[in-house]
């Protein structure tokens, strides 16, 4: 295990603290005029869905934990279990829904993700940065409603609700950022 300073804190880095093992979700480095530099970190416990915010002093150290990442293909859902397949060995693995809470809104069949494995057990999945999803329900935009930047809710094929511009209609495929959950635009091959 390697020891790292707060200067190395980045989203996706996994560290061990006395309270447990945490994955860093965001790290904001700040420096005040007379004070010392600090890092405000938002992190998720890899064992539980607990999310913490903590301020570290500059040069404070933590133990970095290395997580293995391996590609897997999402196959299907069966109740609370989600089934994945290793594309090289064709071996299938089922994971509890609770391990994948943050990924659920963006998972669709045949999508390739990366399993994050710590000490032999899966602690989560790494999604692509963006995903193309079809809109299954949204209200039609009103003719003449030209308010700049106006949005409306749209339900995607996974059940996730995203805010989209008024001109987007049911049946269109849109690109969504998997980290923020925001609409990015129409997908390349969309109608």
The domains of the chain, with CATH numbers, are: 2-64 (2.30.30.30), 68-126 (2.40.50.140), 130-186 (2.40.50.140)
Do residues 138 and 132 make contact, with C-beta atoms less than 8 angstroms apart? no
In this predicted structure, what is the pLDDT of residue 182? 92
The distance of Cα 174 from the centroid of its chain, to the nearest Å, equals 17
Chain segment 51-72, per-residue pLDDT in tens:
889 999 888 899 998 888 899 9
Distance separating alpha carbons of residues 98 and 93, to the nearest angstrom: 15
pLDDT at 35 over 80: no
Distance separating alpha carbons of residues 90 and 69, to the nearest angstrom: 17
pTM score over 0.85? no
pLDDT at 152 over 60: yes
Closest-CA residue to 106 (of 49, 172, 45, 181): 181
For 8, the 3-state DSSP assignment is helix
Q: Hey, what are 41's tokens?
A: 């970190």
Distance separating alpha carbons of residues 77 and 133, to the nearest angstrom: 17
């Amino acid at each position: 295990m390697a020891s790292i300073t707060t200067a190395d804190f980045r989203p996706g880095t996994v560290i061990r603290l006395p309270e447990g093992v945490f994955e860093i979700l965001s790290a904001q480095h700040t420096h005040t005029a007379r004070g010392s530099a600090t890092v405000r970190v938002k992190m998720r416990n890899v064992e539980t869905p607990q999310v913490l915010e903590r301020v570290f002093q500059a040069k404070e150290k933590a133990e970095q934990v290395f997580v293995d990442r391996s590609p897997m293909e999402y196959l299907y859902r069966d109740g609370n279990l989600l089934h994945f397949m290793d594309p090289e060995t064709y071996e299938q693995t089922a994971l509890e829904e609770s391990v994948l809470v943050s990924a659920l809104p963006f998972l669709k069949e045949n999508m390739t993700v990366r399993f994050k494995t710590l000490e032999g057990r899966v602690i989560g999945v790494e999604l692509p940065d963006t995903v193309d999803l079809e809109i299954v329900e949204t209200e039609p935009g009103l003719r003449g409603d030209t308010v700049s930047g106006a949005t409306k809710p749209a339900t995607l094929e996974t059940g996730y609700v995203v805010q989209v511009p008024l001109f987007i209609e049911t049946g269109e495929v849109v690109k969504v950022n998997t980290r923020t959950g925001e609409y990015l635009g129409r997908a390349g091959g969309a109608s």
